[in-house]
Structure 1
Amino acid sequence: MPEPSTRANHEGIGHWLSISAHHSALHSAMLFGSYSHRRVRWLVTGHGQFGADNIRYMRICEADTISKINRAIQDPLTAVSDAIILSVLCLAANYHEDRVSQLGKLSPFQAPLRSLQWLDIYGRLSTNAIHQAGLIQLIQLKGGLEKIELPALAAVISFFGIINASKTLSRPYFPFSSLQDGRELTLHHVLYTPIPTWSYQQGSLLQIPMTNEMLDVFHGLRKYVSLVQAFQDGVQPGVDRGTLCDFRNLLQWHIMSLLPASQLGHVIIPFYPMYESCRLALIIFGVGITFPLPPETAPLEKLSKMLQIELESCDYSSLSGTPGATEIRCWCLVLGGIASTETNSRKWFVQQLRRIATAQGLSTWDEVKVVLESTVWVERACDMAGSFLWDEVMILPNSEDSA
C-alpha cells in the first residue's frame, strides 16, 4: 500500500538547486528555507536538536538574503527575475518565531495524506507579511504567475497562497497553478477522472438551493475522496503524487474562493438559508480532512463558532419540504460538532443533533453515517470523532434537548 505520508517531489526542485549554485541571493534564501524547514520538522518530531548555532546560521542566511535581494531589485533587468521571486518566496513563507506554539495539539480528524507536499511542515510556518507584500508586488510587475518560467515555481507560490487563505479564512490571492507546468487544470479534470471503485451517487444535492460553483465543489470532493481511498487501498496504480497534490490544492483553492453570503448581494436570495452554512462546513472539511492543516494552525474552533452563529441565525422552515435539506443540515452540524471539540460551542451542536435525531428517528451512529455519506464523508478520517460526538448526543438528558 502506498505510504499515506508520501511527499510529492518535483524535478523542478532540482532545477532550483542547480540555479542557486550560480545565484548568490537564491543560494542564501534556500539555505534559510532549509534551516527553517529542518527547525519545524525537528520540533514536531522531537528528532534532532535545533540549537543556538543553527538559529544563528539561519538568521545569518536570512539577513544575507535580504541584503542581496535589495541590491538585485535596484537593477530593472534582475528585479523581477524568477530567481529573485523564488528568493523572496523563501523569506515570505519561512517567518521564524522563537517557538512553534501549541505543539502537541491534536486534530479531531484523522486525515489521510497529512504530509503530502510537506503540508504538515509548511502549514505550521508563519508568513512574513512584509516579504509577502514584496512577493505580490514582484509578481504583479512580472505580469502574473503565468509569466514565470522556472519549473514548479508558480505552483509552489499558488500552494503558499492556498495555505495562507486556509489559515486566515480569506480568498486565495494567487490563481491556481498546477505542478505539471503548462497544464490547465480545472474541476472537470477531477470530476471526470476514472476510478475503479467510483460509483456516482447524485443523492439530493441537486435539490438543495446552492450555487453551481458550490455544487461542483461538493461533487469534486466526493470524487477526490474516492480517489484517495482507492490510492491508499492500492487499487489506483495510475495515480501519481503530483496528481494527488494538484487535485487536493485545486479543490481547496475552490473552497476558499467561494464568496461569503454577505458578498453575494441579491444573488444569495435563491440560495438562502443553506449557502453560508454549507460554505463554512466545506472549509471545515477542507482544513480538517482533504487539505489537512496542522492542528496548531487549522482554524477549526473559529469555524465552528462561525457555523454555530450562522445556523442559529437562519430560519430553515422554508426548506421543510425540500429533499435533502435535513441531511445537509445534519452534515453541517456533525462537522461543526467535531470541529468544536473541547470548546464551549460543543454542547450547542450536541443539542441540535439530538433534535434532528429525534425528529428523523435516528438512533445509531450507523444510521447517522448513511445520512452523512449522502453528502460527502471520509470514514477513516471522521468516524472516531463522529462516534464520540454521537455518544454525547445519546447521553444528553432530555431536559437539555430543548434547552
Structure 2
Amino acid sequence: MLLHHYGQVFNHSNIPVWPKGDWLTVAAMDDAVLHATLIVSALHIGLLLKKKISPDALRHYSHITKILSNRFNDPTKSQTDATILTVACLTLMEILNASPLKAEPHVKALEHLTARRGGVDSLGLKGMIKRKVLWADLSSAIAQQIPPRFKHEPTPWYPNISPIDMSNSDLCNEARRLANETRNPVETSQIFDHLQCLSYAISLINRSENPTDNLALSDYFYDCEWKAYDFYSRAFKNASSPSPNEPPSLYTPLYLASCVAIIMYSNIALREIPIQAGMFAPFISSLLQLLDGVDLEAVSRKYPLMLCWVLAIGGIVSYERPERQQYVQLFSRFCKSQGYGDWDTVKTCFLDSVYVTPLYVSEFRDFWNDVEEEWILDGLS
C-alpha cells in the first residue's frame, strides 16, 4: 500500500530530484533507500489522516537504523551513494517533523561522508544524491537559523522551463520597489518571477504525461529557497543593527515577511509538502511576529499584492492551528481596506494578476471561506 501511495498519490513535484519511476527503481535495489521511501509515504498518509504518530514510519525507521549501523562498521559500505542518500532522506524526515536538533547529527554525517567522497559533485545517480544532500542541508539551516554547510552555486535560469514571462507582473514590480525602498537586493523580484514560472510549469506537468527535467526543477526550487533565506538573513541582520545614518525602513518587516513567505510557498505549492507538516510551525509564528511590525494601512496602500501574498501564505499554512484566527483577522482587515468583499473580487484583483499553482488556489479558497465566516459572525454580533 505504501508503494502504491508513493507512486500514485504523490505529485511529480514531491520528489523533484528525479522522476519517480527511476527513484523507485533505485529504491528496489537498496534496502535502506527502500525503507526511507516507505517512511516518506507513511508520514504523508499520517499527515493526511491527521495522525501524530505513524506506526509504519517507526517500523521502517527501525529497519534503517539497523542497516546503517551495520554499514558504518563496514568501510566498503559506509560511503556508498545509497548510504549517503539514505542519510539525506532521514535528515529531511526530521526537518519535516520539526525536529531540527535530531536532524543535526545527520547533517554532520552528510558533511563528513561527502568530504570523504570528494565533495557533492562526486556523488552519483545523475546528480540526484547531490541535490538531496543540498536540500537537506538548506532545510536544516533554515530550521535552525544558521548558515548552510554546503556552498551554493547560483543556478542559470533557462526561460524554456516556462513559456510565460512574469518579470514585469504587478507582483514583481512591487517586489522590486520594496527591495529598493528597504535597501535590499532587487533580485527578490526575480525570485517572484521564477516562482510564478515554476508554478506554471508544474501546472503543465500535472496535466501531461510528457517527461520533465526534474533535476532542473529541483535546482530552481533550491535556488529560490536559498536566495530567499540569504536575503532574509542579511535583511534581518541589517534591521537588528541599523546604521545611525540609515535607520530601517518602515517597510522592512514586509520585506522580511516576503522572504519567509517565499520559502513557505516553495514548500507547499511547488514541493507540495502537506500543510500539516510540523516544519511549518516556526514559520507561522515567525511570520506573525514580522507582521506585528507592519503598518497594515500604509503597506496595503503601497504594496497591496505583496501584503496579500504574505497574509494568504500565512493563512493557508496555519490551517487547523491556533494561529489561523489571527491570520483571518489580519486578512479581513486587509480586504476591507482594499474593498475586497467577495471571492470573485479577490480572485480578480489578486489571483488573476499572480500565477500560482492550482493547489495554492484551492488552499487559498479554504482560507477565504474562514474570512467570510468571520464577517458573518461579526454581522450577527
Residues 93 and 160 in structure 1, CA contact (< 8 A), matched pair in contact too: yes
Partner in structure 2 of residue 156 of structure 1: 132
Partner in structure 1 of residue 51 of structure 2: none
Residues 104 and 140 in structure 2, CA contact (< 8 A), matched pair in contact too: no
Partner in structure 2 of residue 33 of structure 1: 33
Q: CA deviation at 1:243?
A: 3.0
Q: Secondary structure at the match of 1:209?
A: helix
Tell me which of 90, 94, 108 is aligned to 2:90: 94
Residues 12 and 151 in structure 1, CA contact (< 8 A), matched pair in contact too: no
Partner in structure 1 of residue 49 of structure 2: none
CA offsets, 1:224-282, max 9 Å, x none?
A: 11111223333x95743333333333333333333333223548835624211211221
CA–CA separation in structure 1 for the residues paired with 2:259 and 2:57:
43
CA offsets, 1:21-53, max 9 Å, x none?
A: xxxxxxxxx43332343355356559xx96999
Indicate the percent of aligned positions where both proteins have the same amino acid.
16
The structure that has the greater radius of gyration is 1
Q: What are structure 1's unaligned runs of at least 5 residues? A: 21-29, 74-82, 96-118, 178-183
Is 1:280 matched up with 2:253?
Answer: no
Q: CA deviation at 1:327?
A: 2.3
Letter in 2 for 1:130: P
CA–CA separation in structure 2 for the residues paired with 1:174 and 1:84:
19
Q: Secondary structure at the match of 1:68?
A: coil
Q: What are structure 2's unaligned runs of at least 5 residues? A: 1-7, 47-54, 180-184
CA–CA separation in structure 1 for the residues paired with 2:317 and 2:305:
18
1:161-180 correspondence to structure 2 within 5 Å: 161-165=137-141, 172-176=148-152
CA–CA separation in structure 1 for the residues paired with 2:324 and 2:59:
45
1:203-282 correspondence to structure 2 within 5 Å: 203-207=170-174, 208-210=177-179, 211-234=185-208, 237=210, 239-260=212-233, 261-264=235-238, 265-266=241-242, 269=248, 272-282=252-262
Tell me which of 104, 111, 132 is aligned to 2:107: 132
CA–CA separation in structure 2 for the residues paired with 1:279 and 1:9:
29
Is 1:358 matched up with 2:332?
Answer: no
Letter in 2 for 1:65: R
CA offsets, 1:264-314, max 9 Å, x none?
A: 354883562421121122122122111233445353333222212211123
Q: CA deviation at 1:206?
A: 2.5
Partner in structure 2 of residue 62 of structure 1: 68
Partner in structure 2 of residue 315 of structure 1: 295
CA–CA separation in structure 1 for the residues paired with 2:43 and 2:161:
40
Q: CA deviation at 1:132?
A: 2.6
CA–CA separation in structure 2 for the residues paired with 1:353 and 1:145:
43
How many pairs align? Answer: 343
CA–CA separation in structure 2 for the residues paired with 1:238 and 1:52:
34
CA–CA separation in structure 1 for the residues paired with 2:57 and 2:313:
40
Query: RMSD between aligned alpha carbons?
Result: 4.4
Partner in structure 1 of residue 52 of structure 2: none
TM-score (norm 1): 0.67
Residues 196 and 356 in structure 2, CA contact (< 8 A), matched pair in contact too: no
Partner in structure 2 of residue 5 of structure 1: 11
Alignment CA distance shift 1:357-1:254 (3 Å): same
* Higher RCO, 1 vs 2 (CA within 8 Å, ≥6 residues apart): 1
* Greater fraction helix: 2
CA–CA separation in structure 2 for the residues paired with 1:91 and 1:57:
13
